[in-house]
Amino acid sequence: MWPWIEKSPTRRYAFAAVVAVAASLLHWLIFPLTQGRTSFIFFPPAIILVTTIAGRGPGVLVALIGVFNSALQKDAESLLVFNSSEQVAVIASALVAGMLIWVGDYYRSISRRELHDLHELHELSATLVSIPKLPDQLRLILVTFARMHGADKGLISTVDRQRDQLTVAASIGFSPAALEVVGESNVGTSSLARDERRRVIIEDTETDPRFAPLRDLARNEGVRAVHATPLISRDGAALGALTVHFREPRMPTEREIRIADICARKAAVFIERARAEERVSERDRRFESVLSSSGVPFVVFSPVRDSSGKITDFRWSFLNSAAARVMRCKPADFVGRLVTDTLPRAWNDRGRFELYVEALEKREVRETERQSEADGNQAWYHIVATPLDGDLAVWFADVTQRKVQERALIEADRRKDEFLATLAHELRNPLAPIRQAATIARNENATEAQKRWSTNVIERQVQHMSLLLDDLLDVSRITHGTLQLRKQQTDLQSIVSAAVETARPLIDERHHHLTLDVPDHLQMNGDPLRLAQVLSNLLTNAAKYTNPQGRIRVSAWQEDDMLTIAVEDTGIGIAKEDLAKVFGMFAQVRSAQDHAAGGLGIGLALARGIVELHGGHIEAESGGAGQGSRFIVRLPNVAAVRGDPALAGARRIGNGTAHRRILLADDNRDAAESLAIILRLEGHDVELAHDGSSALRSFAALKPDVALLDIGMPQANGYEVARQIRATPEGASVLLIAITGWAQDSDKAESRAAGFDHHLTKPIEPETLIGLLDQP
């Protein structure tokens, strides 16, 4: 209603006329009662009402009508009488009307200004929210603030947190030189307001001592009064100050204080908001830079939904550089695009999409391990999907290495199981013929020839078993790096002959044709026993994996400073993909297993180990299944000069001339007795004992030349017996030989420490023992 009246002068005067006429009518209504005595009573409220609403002019109009109306109600004659009560009453009414107009006008101007202020502040709020940047927001606040003060200079200073100093964030009306001084000084009114965290009023810059440092500046800029209001954050911290500068000395009015508070509050809110945003974006930046520099591929997916809200795909919303490397893209190539558009096969990996959807909808972390085809390199990833503000954060840790190792472990485990089964089989195999041969030998009706045959069988089988065990021990030594080579200048032909001698029974049994093409001048520096072991393994394999009547050829030649030995056969051959595998420990090619009485799968591993210990190299060649195989050994350090071949470790087989008194102690009676028979057959005197203490007693009684002691015996073990024997006067010179299943270097060191001269590993080879006994 009021704004409608205010819109035009006509409406305002019409309103005044209506109110005046109404007041007049009221007077005339009560005239019969009052007879004109209270002829002005309704006009004061009418004048106030019209002046405050419609302004001074309409108020004057109401007053005039009121005074005129009042005069009308008086007696016209007495009105003309000077100083008559009627005349005084009308004049008083006019004076009251004038006063009321002044009061009404005063209130009207106050209320209009307040309305105007409200309007300005409202406009300010409305505009501020549409301005994105803090400096522009502060400038608008400052401009509005100064205008409402009728001032042309003002500043908003904010605290520079790094330097803990105020800097000018927005200014109007100052020269650049002044801004430079104000911006860098910590002495101005703004600083005071900020430090004291309350309003600072410099009523007159010329007289206020607080303003002394900047007085000259104020004079130059035409400033005489400064009012500063601190900008206080919600938690009470001083963020800066808002100042307005006047050309004349003055104090702020109530209204100005209110406006300053409102504007300061607004500025503080926007500064705080900007700082919070800065913090958030700083955190985001840090988060992003940590994620970007992380070696773990990381992506954030946003779900894409259909009209029913169902997730149909995901959109890349972030990917770090590690993830981009995996996808072979730049992050910018993928961000914002659909997964199906960028990696069309991504969801072919069954269950992966469902897993992401589940993580997102159940708001739970989901983990899985998958092989990714998406990136084309078949890598394995450990994937962790975590819901993140409606999106999905996904980490992919590359676990390919671990998977490969796991598989290798599983494979090694499988091979170990297979090996143990084979080992059991291989060890049990010779037992049947041994048992049968023993039965035949025991049979009274057996002929001498049958008994000899049985003995041969037993010998051959035992030989086979001990070869197996030797191989096993050697492999273990190679693995632990404890295999020692006894290198010497050696003739290759004698090595080949020794190997052929070992493999001969099998070659003959399978009727193979063996060709040797080894020049007799080839010499090398190596361990002859070990190299013979390598070649006998290759020859035995050739015999095993070649059908009867096959051909086997051993050839050797010299190439620069390398000696090359090749063992070829016309056997079952090796498939290309198995060529590299056959040298692995316990490696056996399936097809070969059924083919021939297999071994333990360690022969080639052992061969490779020994060749490499010599600084050489071994490799297999084959045209494939059924095409025969060729194993090539290359050894360095060839001496092409004929030297004196002397095979180290050549067994010294006894000539049976030295007869010794021997104490043989072993709790395994069979082993003890069979060895005793062999030794007696060689012409030695043998006394048996089956535990430690009886061994010591027998030693005291017999005073033997040699004591053969088992280590693991009841009552006193071999070490103790040896120590006690060595402690006696007769024991000092006796030849002490340990016979044991323990063959580690540490076992040998222990037996040496206990006083043993020799350490023989079970099953002992009779020739070796006899050789030792024959030594002078």
CA distance 156 to 134: 12
The window from 9-17, 264-272, 599-607, 711-719 that contacts ligand ADP (CB under 6 A) reads 599-607
Which CB atom, from 215 or from 510, has the smaller least distance to ligand ADP?
A: 510
Binds ligand ADP by CB under 6 A, chosen from 104, 230, 528, 601: 601
Binds ligand ADP by CB under 6 A, chosen from 59, 526, 599, 731: 599
The window from 274-282, 569-577, 743-751, 756-764 that contacts ligand ADP (CB under 6 A) reads 569-577
Which CB atom, from 104 or from 571, has the smaller least distance to ligand ADP?
A: 571
Binds ligand ADP by CB under 6 A, chosen from 94, 217, 475, 602: 602
Binds ligand ADP by CB under 6 A, chosen from 226, 379, 554, 592: 592
Cα 41 to its chain centre, rounded Å, is: 92
Crossing angle of helices 9-34 and 56-73, rounded to 10°: 20
Among residues 451, 452, 458, 459, which one has the least CA distance to residue 432? 458
Could you say whether residue 134 binds ligand ADP (CB under 6 A)?
no
CA distance 256 to 149: 7
Could you say whether residue 314 binds ligand ADP (CB under 6 A)?
no
Which CB atom, from 537 or from 740, has the smaller least distance to ligand ADP?
A: 537
Nearest distance, CB of residue 303 and ligand ADP, angstroms: 55
Binds ligand ADP by CB under 6 A, chosen from 589, 638, 672, 676: 589
Binds ligand ADP by CB under 6 A, chosen from 565, 587, 695, 721: 587
The window from 70-78, 96-104, 408-416, 595-603 that contacts ligand ADP (CB under 6 A) reads 595-603
The window from 406-414, 494-502, 594-602, 703-711 that contacts ligand ADP (CB under 6 A) reads 594-602
CA distance 199 to 585: 89
Nearest distance, CB of residue 427 and ligand ADP, angstroms: 13
Burial profile 269-281: b = 16 or more Cβ within 10 angstroms, e = fewer: bbbbebeeeeeee
Place of tokens 């890349």: 316
Nearest distance, CB of residue 425 and ligand ADP, angstroms: 11
- Contacts of ligand ADP in 698-727 (CB under 6 A): none
For 83-127, give the secondary structure using H, E and C. Answer: CCHHHHHHHHHHHHHHHHHHHHHHHHHHHHHHHHHHHHHHHHHHH
Question: Which residue sits closest to ligand ADP, CB atoms considered?
Answer: 599
User: Do residues 74 and 36 lie in contact, with contact meaning Cβ atoms separated by under 8 Å?
Assistant: yes
Which CB atom, from 155 or from 604, has the smaller least distance to ligand ADP?
A: 604
- Contacts of ligand ADP in 511-540 (CB under 6 A): 537
Among residues 301, 339, 344, 345, which one has the least CA distance to residue 319? 301
Binds ligand ADP by CB under 6 A, chosen from 569, 682, 691, 720: 569
User: Do residues 458 and 437 lie in contact, with contact meaning Cβ atoms separated by under 8 Å?
Assistant: yes
Could you say whether residue 541 binds ligand ADP (CB under 6 A)?
yes
Could you say whether residue 588 binds ligand ADP (CB under 6 A)?
yes
What is the DSSP-derived secondary structure letter of residue 251?
P
Could you say whether residue 600 binds ligand ADP (CB under 6 A)?
yes
190 torsion bin: left (phi>0), alpha (psi -120 to 50), beta (else) = alpha
The window from 202-210, 591-599, 673-681, 700-708 that contacts ligand ADP (CB under 6 A) reads 591-599
Nearest distance, CB of residue 619 and ligand ADP, angstroms: 12
- Contacts of ligand ADP in 246-265 (CB under 6 A): none
Could you say whether residue 773 binds ligand ADP (CB under 6 A)?
no
Could you say whether residue 62 binds ligand ADP (CB under 6 A)?
no
Q: Which two tokens stand for residue 756?
A: 């043993």
Binds ligand ADP by CB under 6 A, chosen from 69, 144, 629, 724: 629
CA distance 90 to 72: 10
- Sorted by sequence, the CB contacts under 8 Å of residue 146 that are 6+ apart come out as 152, 153, 154, 172, 173, 244
Binds ligand ADP by CB under 6 A, chosen from 19, 259, 260, 574: 574
Nearest distance, CB of residue 460 and ligand ADP, angstroms: 18
What is the DSSP-derived secondary structure letter of residue 483?
P
The window from 137-145, 207-215, 321-329, 603-611 that contacts ligand ADP (CB under 6 A) reads 603-611
The window from 7-15, 168-176, 335-343, 566-574 that contacts ligand ADP (CB under 6 A) reads 566-574
Binds ligand ADP by CB under 6 A, chosen from 104, 430, 550, 598: 598
Could you say whether residue 633 binds ligand ADP (CB under 6 A)?
no
Nearest distance, CB of residue 717 and ligand ADP, angstroms: 35
In terms of Cβ atoms closer than 10 Å to its own Cβ (0-12, 13-18, 19+), residue 133 is exposed
User: Do residues 722 and 744 lie in contact, with contact meaning Cβ atoms separated by under 8 Å?
Assistant: no
Which CB atom, from 214 or from 592, has the smaller least distance to ligand ADP?
A: 592
Which CB atom, from 211 or from 545, has the smaller least distance to ligand ADP?
A: 545
Nearest distance, CB of residue 465 and ligand ADP, angstroms: 14
Could you say whether residue 603 binds ligand ADP (CB under 6 A)?
yes
- Sorted by sequence, the CB contacts under 8 Å of residue 701 that are 6+ apart come out as none
The window from 583-591, 717-725, 734-742, 760-768 that contacts ligand ADP (CB under 6 A) reads 583-591
Three-state DSSP class for 584?
coil
Binds ligand ADP by CB under 6 A, chosen from 572, 663, 706, 754: 572
Which CB atom, from 575 or from 671, has the smaller least distance to ligand ADP?
A: 575
For the chain, how many residues are written? Answer: 776
User: Do residues 393 and 298 lie in contact, with contact meaning Cβ atoms separated by under 8 Å?
Assistant: yes
Burial profile 696-724: b = 16 or more Cβ within 10 angstroms, e = fewer: bebbeebebbbbbbbbebeebbbbbbbeb
Which CB atom, from 381 or from 545, has the smaller least distance to ligand ADP?
A: 545
Nearest distance, CB of residue 509 and ligand ADP, angstroms: 16
DSSP 128-159: HTT--SHHHHHHHHHHHHHHHHT-SEEEEEEE
Could you say whether residue 545 binds ligand ADP (CB under 6 A)?
yes
CA distance 757 to 736: 5
User: Do residues 396 and 370 lie in contact, with contact meaning Cβ atoms separated by under 8 Å?
Assistant: no
- Strand order through the sheet with 488-491: 488-491, 523-526, 638-639
User: Do residues 290 and 171 lie in contact, with contact meaning Cβ atoms separated by under 8 Å?
Assistant: no
CA distances from 114 to 4, 119, 262, 265, 720 (A): 18, 8, 14, 19, 116
Q: Which two tokens stand for residue 237?
A: 């911290």
User: Do residues 31 and 73 lie in contact, with contact meaning Cβ atoms separated by under 8 Å?
Assistant: yes
- Tell me how many residues contact ligand ADP (CB under 6 A): 23
Nearest distance, CB of residue 472 and ligand ADP, angstroms: 11
Which CB atom, from 209 or from 548, has the smaller least distance to ligand ADP?
A: 548
- Asked whether the bond before 763 is cis by omega within 30 degrees of 0, the reply is yes
Could you say whether residue 550 binds ligand ADP (CB under 6 A)?
no
Task: Give me the residues that bind ligand ADP (CB under 6 A), please.
Answer: 537, 541-542, 545, 569, 571-574, 582, 587-589, 592, 598-605, 629
